[in-house]
Amino acid sequence: MRLVTLITGASSGIGAELARVFAAHGHELVLVARREHELAALADEIAAAGGARPIVLPLDLGRRDAVARIAAELAARELEPANVVNNAGFGLAGAAASLDRDEQLALIDLNVRALTELSLAFIDSLAGHRGGILNVASVVAFLPGPGMAAYYASKAYVLSFSEALHRELKPRGVRVTALCPGPVATGFQARAGLRADGSGERNLLALPARRVAEIGYRGFVAGKRVVIAGIGNRIAMFFVRFVPHALLLPIVADRMRDARADRDVGKL
């Protein structure tokens, strides 16, 4: 059996950068996402840089049988996960009552159900190889989210679930880390219906996806429970914990309204 690191949502953004960082540290990878062409291009790039060419699994994690199919593919290739990186996810901007309900349920299915299933599917393998789970949450996990209610709530789940797993699996030698980035310019914003920087002004909390991936990898290897990417985000989240939600709710709602309005203006 060969040991691999499984990375979901690896076709772009933070997921692709995590793949590059793990590969640079000698990990053999299995990359999962819907877009086969982008996955293949990334695999070629990693191989050209001198790493083992990652195995590409083009797959929609929203399918109920997705994790079973991944497990079957790994078994057929005689691969065992030493690490699982759950990065796949998407957001939707707008009032929950006005957004398409099926899309919001699909968000929960991917961001919550698929992440939970993948986190639990390979525990014995992770424990046997003293590996771990890196779950990509967000700084919005610490906040209520009017204007992106389902997305904020899904990331709050990821953070809470990951922290609990960290405590439960530590005695078995399994590291579990929740990575909480702030704003990152990726394809996520376009899918969610937001500007690329998340607001109408320059966002001082934003970091490049590569930097987020490097911070996440270091924290994961160090066995940290929660990694907030960037000193600005760490300072902001420190103070957020002291602000009542009654005060945070209108602030977040206003920021989300501005972000959507700016995007709409840009489309005219």
pLDDT, one tens digit per residue, over 147-175 is: 999 999 999 999 999 999 999 999 999 99
Q: For residues 219 and 93, what is the distance between their CA atoms, to the nearest angstrom?
A: 30
Query: Hey, what are 89's tokens?
Result: 């996810």
Calculate mean pLDDT across residues 247-259: 87
Instruction: Band the pLDDT of 201: cuts 50, 70, 90.
Output: very low
Contact of 93 with 148, CB cutoff 8 Å: yes
pLDDT grade, residue 45 (50/70/90)? Answer: very high
92 pLDDT more than 90: yes
Measured CA to CA in angstroms, residue 124 lies from 30, 135, 173, 205 at distances of 18, 18, 11, 38
- The pTM of the full predicted model, rounded to 2 decimals, is 0.89
| Per-residue pLDDT band at 39 (split at 50, 70, 90) | very high
Name which of 244, 224, 212, 110 is nearest 178 in CA terms: 224
Count Cβ atoms below 10 Å from residue 169 Cβ, excluding itself: 18
Which residues does residue 153 pair with via DSSP β-bridges, in sequence order?
A: none
Look up 217 and say whether it is catalytic. no
207-237: per-residue pLDDT in tens? 999 999 999 999 999 999 999 999 999 999 9
Question: Which of 130-139, 181-190, 212-221 shows the lowest mean pLDDT across its residues?
Answer: 181-190
Mean pLDDT of the chain, nearest integer? 91
What is the predicted pLDDT for the residue at 257? 83
Where residue 108 falls among pLDDT bands split at 50, 70, 90?
very high
Position 261 scores a pLDDT of 56
Span 255-264, pLDDT tens digits: 888 776 544 3
Whether 112 shows a pLDDT value over 50: the answer reads yes
Question: Distance between CA 262 and CA 199 in Å, rounded?
Answer: 7
**Which pLDDT belongs to residue 213?**
98
Residue whose C-alpha is closest to residue 183's, from 8, 14, 12, 9: 14
* Segment holding 75, helix H or strand E: helix 66-76
The predicted pLDDT at position 266 comes to: 31
Give me 211's structure tokens: 């930097």
Question: What sign does the dihedral 248-251-256-257 (CA atoms) show?
Answer: positive
If you average pLDDT over residues 104-119, what whole number do you get? 97
Task: List the catalytic residue out of 151, 152, 157, 217.
Answer: 151
- Given pLDDT bands bounded at 50, 70 and 90, which one contains residue 200? very low
pLDDT bin (cut points 50, 70, 90) of residue 187 is low
246-267: b or e for each residue (b if 16 or more CB lie within 10 Å)?
Answer: eebeeebbeebebbbebbeeee
Q: Rounded to whole angstroms, what are the CA distances from 148 to 57, 107, 123, 203?
A: 30, 11, 32, 18
Q: Kindly report the CATH class assigned to 2-267.
A: alpha beta
